[in-house]
């Protein structure tokens, strides 16, 4: 082997064995390294130009002469064992001497490598022990080559092979990427690569795949191995299957997450008399009116019990329960002083050092208790209502599932059980009407104030106003309803109908007979007007005016009777313009001396009214002319359409209506100024307009007179 002098010197000085350079011709030492000096216990000056054999005792068969030893091995290399006498330890050292020839800058030398046999053996044994330890290690161990870009594996122990299912031959020379798969996260892989680039140790956990495709969580630690100069020579890896721990950790995290998010309160306490909060989840913190679990720990558990003895009783029950959970309903008092009804489920546990702990789940039942109390109040109310309350099943053979006491009285039953033994159909006078009512209820889900003719259990007829709804109970449809006895009202309505019919007949008869007599009076008065002198003429005119007024009075009285006998069903759409124009024409023909005008045009619009609308306009127009103190009565009519109504204004130039009479002028029997009439005309106007859902009022006219304003709802 040929080396440069500088390279040879570097290797020579740093070799872990003793090295001696010998002149092959003389067999004398030219130079030795520090390690050889340490072995023999002398410095270099003493050893220079000495024979190596002078410091050693040859073993049996060994030759003292280096030259002769070299000559025995014609290959130029030989190994012998000698005993070195060390001045340091004063003991002989068994050494192994390996002789070889080297060429340094063209000079041939003999190089003797002197190794302490015992130390070498120790190193060998240590290496074997370390190798066996690595092979027997309970975790996978790998060594990679950092000098290649893909960092291939150059060593794996048996545990790594067992962990991954791959043999040594299958993995050496490959990068550990073959353990990765679809669910291997990119972040830990990136972290490993970054650590290798930075020549730093790193520990990560990632999903890896065995040869058979099964997954496992691998805890990987990678660390660089450096030489004496700090250069990275290898990377050693430790790989451990942490699947069980990872699953336990995930289960623990899930359990903690559930405890933190469960809507019920969860806590752990000790068993001291007052109790301390060892753990409290957010739901319990909120339930007790605290801002945090730390705030709860400033208080004792017993402080939150409305009844302190309740906690003592719970602890006693736990100790007597033989590890079984104990459930109690108690009342807690929050930090805000609010009382909450709760159900506590508690269990007793003992930790590894024998300390007892109480685990509690706290469920807030305040709202449930309030609902229960409300239900009890409702049940008491239903039982004491003076109207019947029931629940029944639908169908032809529907049966009662609930009745209150009022139902028992309403249908002359002996008891609730008596009603339960009868079908709903038995209580209807007309069974077909019951089927029709049930069908209507199914379609609409609610029916209100349906008047039905019913039969009691004593076979007596009654009228009931029934309101019912459909409900779902245990997935089945039922009818819930109330029944009010309206028999007396129906009898009253019947009597009222008969009275109205009689009144209608009487009204028509009287109006007919009176008007016939008045026509005779008017006819005879007209005849007498041509037969009497000037003095009698005044009396004839009075008769004529009174007869005309009586005719008008019968017409107004008839209108009022029609209003009293009318119903809302008679309301309809009425054309405003035609009705108002018709009455204007009538008034103009009757009162030729009056000036009756229309401002603008009457809008073509329909309003909600009936045939009596003519009477409204006729009475107001007649009133504007008759109660006028001017020589020429002036009447101005206008109409304005709004979004939902139409406003009609009838203005006159008469004396007007004083402010203190504007509210009462429409009253029954009220008369106008200096009026000799009955006052029922304006009363009729207000009654009709309000019946239509409108409004009538009187205002001042400028410069004098009155304006009657009628506002009527438009037909949609």
User: 605-644, pLDDT tens digit by residue?
Assistant: 999 988 888 888 988 998 899 888 898 999 999 999 999 9
Please write the tens of the pLDDT for every residue from 386-417: 899 999 998 878 899 999 999 999 999 999 99
pLDDT confidence tier of residue 166, bands split at 50, 70 and 90: very high
CA distances 686 to 20, 494, 676, 706, Å, are 142, 29, 20, 16
Distance CA 384, CA 243 (A): 68
E strand map for 194-250? 202-209, 215-226, 232-241
Q: Does domain 2-123 have CATH number 3.30.450.20?
A: yes
Please write the tens of the pLDDT for every residue from 336-355: 999 999 999 999 988 878 88
Domain ranges of the chain: 2-123, 137-248, 262-370, 385-485, 491-549, 566-713
> Which stretch, 22-31, 537-546, 552-561, 689-698, has highest mean pLDDT?
689-698
Instruction: Give the lowest-confidence range in 46-55, 327-336, 576-585.
Output: 46-55
Using the predicted structure, report yes or no on whether residue 517 has a pLDDT greater than 50: yes
Using the predicted structure, report yes or no on whether residue 138 has a pLDDT greater than 50: yes
Using the predicted structure, report yes or no on whether residue 686 has a pLDDT greater than 50: yes
Q: Which residue in this structure is represented by tokens 């014609």?
A: 74
pLDDT confidence tier of residue 469, bands split at 50, 70 and 90: very high
Instruction: Provide the greatest CA pair distance for the chain.
Output: 198
Residue 543's pLDDT is 79
Residue 565's pLDDT is 55
Distance CA 164, CA 209 (A): 7
Q: What percent of the chain is predicted at pLDDT more than 70?
A: 85
In this chain, the answer to whether the domains covering 262-370 and 566-713 adopt an identical fold is no
Residue 392's pLDDT is 92
Using the predicted structure, report yes or no on whether residue 670 has a pLDDT greater than 50: no
* Cα dihedral 508/510/513/515 (nearest 10): -80
pLDDT confidence tier of residue 663, bands split at 50, 70 and 90: confident
Distance CA 280, CA 291 (A): 12
Using the predicted structure, report yes or no on whether residue 222 has a pLDDT greater than 60: yes
Residue 47's pLDDT is 86
pLDDT confidence tier of residue 676, bands split at 50, 70 and 90: very low
Distance CA 646, CA 693 (A): 12
pLDDT confidence tier of residue 532, bands split at 50, 70 and 90: confident
More confident position, 671 or 593: 593
Using the predicted structure, report yes or no on whether residue 255 has a pLDDT greater than 80: no
Instruction: Give the lowest-confidence range in 150-154, 174-178, 574-578, 710-714.
Output: 150-154
The CATH number for 566-713, chosen from 3.30.565.10, 2.60.120.260, 3.40.50.360, 3.40.50.300, is 3.30.565.10
Using the predicted structure, report yes or no on whether residue 116 has a pLDDT greater than 60: yes
More confident position, 55 or 487: 487
Beta carbons of 49 and 27 less than 8 angstroms apart: no
Residue 674's pLDDT is 38
Parallel, antiparallel or unpaired: strands 140-144 and 232-241: antiparallel
For the structural domain made of 137-248, what CATH number should be given? 3.30.450.20
Arithmetic mean of pLDDT, 644-662: 92
Arithmetic mean of pLDDT, 490-498: 79
Beta carbons of 114 and 18 less than 8 angstroms apart: yes
Residue 563 belongs to what H/E stretch? helix 534-565
Please write the tens of the pLDDT for every residue from 273-330: 888 998 999 999 999 999 998 999 999 999 999 998 888 899 899 888 888 899 999 9
Distance CA 224, CA 673 (A): 121
User: By C-alpha distance, which of 151, 153, 171 is closest to 162?
Assistant: 171
Top CATH class of 385-485 equals alpha beta
Distance CA 267, CA 452 (A): 60
More confident position, 478 or 323: 478
Region of 88 (left: φ > 0; alpha: ψ -120 to 50; beta: rest) is alpha
Using the predicted structure, report yes or no on whether residue 716 has a pLDDT greater than 70: yes
Q: What is the pTM of this model?
A: 0.39
Top CATH class of 262-370 equals alpha beta
Residues in the chain, total = 716
Side-chain half-sphere exposure of 65, counting CA atoms within 13 A: 6
Beta carbons of 657 and 627 less than 8 angstroms apart: no
Distance CA 652, CA 636 (A): 6
Return mean pLDDT, the chain: 83
pLDDT confidence tier of residue 566, bands split at 50, 70 and 90: low
User: By C-alpha distance, which of 235, 260, 4, 7 is closest to 107?
Assistant: 4
Instruction: Give the lowest-confidence range in 72-81, 279-288, 466-475.
Output: 72-81
Residue 677's pLDDT is 40
User: By C-alpha distance, which of 503, 606, 517 is closest to 563?
Assistant: 503
Residue 67's pLDDT is 44
* Per-residue tokens: 24: 């092959």
SS3 label, residue 129: helix
Distance CA 217, CA 606 (A): 85
């Amino acid at each position: 082997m040929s080396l440069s002098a500088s390279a040879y010197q570097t290797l020579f000085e740093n070799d872990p064995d003793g090295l001696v350079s010998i002149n092959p011709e003389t067999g004398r030492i030219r130079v030795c390294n520090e390690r050889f000096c340490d072995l023999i216990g002398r410095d270099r000056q003493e050893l220079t130009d000495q024979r190596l054999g002078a410091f050693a005792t040859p073993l049996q068969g060994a030759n003292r002469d280096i030259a002769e030893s070299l000559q025995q091995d014609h290959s130029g290399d030989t190994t012998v064992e000698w005993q070195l006498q060390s001045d340091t330890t004063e003991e002989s050292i068994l050494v192994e001497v390996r002789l070889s020839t080297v060429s340094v800058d063209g000079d041939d030398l003999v190089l003797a490598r002197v190794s302490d046999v015992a130390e070498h053996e120790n190193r060998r044994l240590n290496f074997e022990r370390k190798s066996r330890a690595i092979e027997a290690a309970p975790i996978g161990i790998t060594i990679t080559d950092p000098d290649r870009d893909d960092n291939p594996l150059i060593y794996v122990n048996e545990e790594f092979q067992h962990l991954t299912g791959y043999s040594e031959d299958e993995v050496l020379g490959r990068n550990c990427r073959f353990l990765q798969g679809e669910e291997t996260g990119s972040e830990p892989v990136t972290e490993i690569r970054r650590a290798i680039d930075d020549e730093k140790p790193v520990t990560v956990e990632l999903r890896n795949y065995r040869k058979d495709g099964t997954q496992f969580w691998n805890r990987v630690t990678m660390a660089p191995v450096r030489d004496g100069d700090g250069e990275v020579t290898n990377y050693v890896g430790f790989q451990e299957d942490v699947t069980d721990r990872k699953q336990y950790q995930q289960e623990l995290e899930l359990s903690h997450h559930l405890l933190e998010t469960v809507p019920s309160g969860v806590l752990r306490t000790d068993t001291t008399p007052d109790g301390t909060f060892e753990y409290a989840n957010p739901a319990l913190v909120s339930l007790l009116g605290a801002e945090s679990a730390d705030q709860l720990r400033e208080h004792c558990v017993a402080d939150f019990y409305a009844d302190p003895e309740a906690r003592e009783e719970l602890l006693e029950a736990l100790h007597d329960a033989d590890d079984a959970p104990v459930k109690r309903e108690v009342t807690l008092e929050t930090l805000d002083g609010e009382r909450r009804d709760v159900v506590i489920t508690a269990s007793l546990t003992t930790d590894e050092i024998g300390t007892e702990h109480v685990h509690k789940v706290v469920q807030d039942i305040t709202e449930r208790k309030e609902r229960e109390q409300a239900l009890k109040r409702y049940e008491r109310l239903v039982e004491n209502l003076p109207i019947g309350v029931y629940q029944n099943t639908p169908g032809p053979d529907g049966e009662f599932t609930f009745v209150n006491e009022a139902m028992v009285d309403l249908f002359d039953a002996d008891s609730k059980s008596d009603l339960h033994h009868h079908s709903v159909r038995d209580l209807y006078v007309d069974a077909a009407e019951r089927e029709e009512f049930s069908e209507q209820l199914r379609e609409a889900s609610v029916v209100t104030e349906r008047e039905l003719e019913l039969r009691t259990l004593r076979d007596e007829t009654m009228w009931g106003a029934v309101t019912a709804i459909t409900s779902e109970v245990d997935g089945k449809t039922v009818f819930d309803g109330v029944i009010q006895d309206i028999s007396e009202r129906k009898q009253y309505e019947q009597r009222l109908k008969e009275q109205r019919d009689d009144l209608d007949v009487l009204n028509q008869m009287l109006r007919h007979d009176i008007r016939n007599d008045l026509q005779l009076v008017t006819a005879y008065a007209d005849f007498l007007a041509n037969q009497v002198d000037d003095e009698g003429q005044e009396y004839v005119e009075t008769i004529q005016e009174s007869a005309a007024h009586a005719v008008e009075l019968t017409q107004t009285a008839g209108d009022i009777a029609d209003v009293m006998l009318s119903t809302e069903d008679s309301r309809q759409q009425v054309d405003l313009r035609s009705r108002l124009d018709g009455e204007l024409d009538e008034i103009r023909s009757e009162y030729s001396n009056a000036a009756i005008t229309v401002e603008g045009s009457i809008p073509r619009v329909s309003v909600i009214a009936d045939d009596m609308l003519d009477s409204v306009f006729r009475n107001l127009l007649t009133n504007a002319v008759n109660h006028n103190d001017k020589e020429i009565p002036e009447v101005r009519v206008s109409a304005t359409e709004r979004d939902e109504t139409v406003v009609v204004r009838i203005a006159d130039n008469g004396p007007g209506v004083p402010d203190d009479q504007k509210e009462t002028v429409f009253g029954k029997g009220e008369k106008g100024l200096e009026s000799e009439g009955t006052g029922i005309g304006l009363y009729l106007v207000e009654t009709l307009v309000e019946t239509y859902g409108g409004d009538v009022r009187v205002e001042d006219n400028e410069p004098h007179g009155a304006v009657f304003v009628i506002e009527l709802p438009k037909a949609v």
